[in-house]
Structure formats: C-alpha cells, structure tokens
C-alpha cells in the first residue's frame, strides 16, 4: 500500500463528502475536467487513444528522472475528463510499482464507480487498466 496514494484518495473523498446530491458532484467533476490541461490535438494520436463506445480517452505516460511515472490524459467528454483528472491526480508521480498495484478505492467511495464499470461506454475502465499496464511496463524496463 502506497502512502502517497492513500493520502490522495482520502483527500479526494473528503472533497466529495460535502456534496449533497449528484448534480453537485457532477458540477465539481466538470470543474475538474475543465481545469485539466487539454492535450494538444497533435498528441491525440490513435496510439494513445482508448476507445469507449461513446467518449474517447487519450493517455500518455512518461518516466520522470526519479523513476516515477507522469501521466497526461484527455477526453472528448467533460465528465469523463473530470474523472480522468482524478485518476491522474491519484497516480501521477508514483513509482511504477505503486501504479501497477494501485487499488483505486476512492472511485467507489465517492459513488462514481458506475462510470468505471466494464460495460460502461466511456473507456474509463480501459484507461485504468492501461495506467496499470504502464506501471508494469516501466517496472520491467527497470
């Protein structure tokens, strides 16, 4: 269990606790989506695309000098993008090992797990998997 990750998840959950209803939650997710930097169109390559049936997600991962992982991500739907922002916030700057083993329990806790169901059309589930794969891959490369 990675302490940084745990602390971040606790923080996110606290942020969401104040919201009384769904619309307020989404209001905040939308805000998060808007404040996440968009990837330049030139970076939205098919190689980075995770296709859901409806909204699309782009994900790029790179290694920082200290060996931790840096994610950049985007989506064409703003709510998806807000959730993407949360994932990135939770996992950015962690070690490959921590990413590979990450248990993202905060999503369920804040009640947005339906967006991550494998049958959901937004590509988020695949994104989380893809993030873990990067963790594994970067671990392997050493």
Partner 1 sequence: MKSLDPNQIRLQFPILNREVNGKPLIYLDHAASAQKPLAVIEAQREYLSHYHSNVHRGVHALSNQATEAFESARRSVSASINAEFVEEVIWVAGATDGINLIAQSWGRDNIKQGDVVLITEMEHHANIVPWQMLVKACGARLEAVGVTDDGVLDKTDFQNKLKLQPKLVALTHVSNTLGTINDVKFWADEAHAAGSIVLIDGSQAMPHMDVDVQALGCDFYVFSGHKAYGPTGIGVLYGKRQLLEEMSPWRGGGEMIDVVSLKHGTTFAGLPYKFEAGTPHISGAIALGVALNWIQGIGKGAMQDHENTLTAQARRGLGQIEGLRLIGNAPNSSSVVSFVVDDVHPYDIGTLLDSQGIAVRTGHHCTQPLMERFGVVGTVRASFGAYNTLQEVDALVSGTQRAIRMLKG
Distances (CA, A) of 64 to 14, 47, 127, 140: 29, 21, 20, 16
Q: Does 77 bind partner 1 (CB under 8 A)?
A: yes
For partner 1, give the closer residue by CB, 55 or 95: 55
Q: Which stretch binds partner 1 (CB under 8 A): 3-11, 70-78, 89-97, 99-107?
A: 70-78
- The binder of partner 1 chosen from 17, 21, 41, 65 (CB under 8 A): 21
Q: Which stretch binds partner 1 (CB under 8 A): 7-15, 36-44, 47-55, 59-67?
A: 47-55
29-61 CB burial, b ≥16 within 10 A, e <16: beebbeebeebeeeebeeebebebeebbbbbbb
- The verdict on 118 binding partner 1 (CB under 8 A) reads yes
Q: Which residues are catalytic?
A: 53
């Amino acid at each position: 269990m990675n302490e940084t990750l745990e602390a971040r998840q606790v923080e996110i959950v606290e942020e969401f606790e104040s919201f009384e209803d769904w619309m307020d939650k989404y209001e905040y997710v939308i805000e998060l989506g808007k404040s996440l930097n968009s990837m330049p169109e030139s970076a939205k390559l098919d190689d980075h695309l995770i296709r859901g049936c409806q909204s699309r997600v782009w994900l790029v991962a790179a290694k920082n000098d200290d060996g931790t992982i840096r994610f950049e991500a985007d989506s064409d739907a703003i709510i998806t993008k807000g959730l993407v922002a949360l994932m990135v916030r939770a996992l950015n700057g962690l070690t490959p090992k921590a990413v590979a083993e990450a248990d993202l329990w905060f999503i369920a806790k804040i009640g947005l797990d339906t967006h991550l169901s494998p049958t959901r059309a937004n590509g988020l589930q695949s994104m989380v998997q893809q993030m873990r794969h990067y963790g594994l891959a970067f671990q392997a490369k050493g």
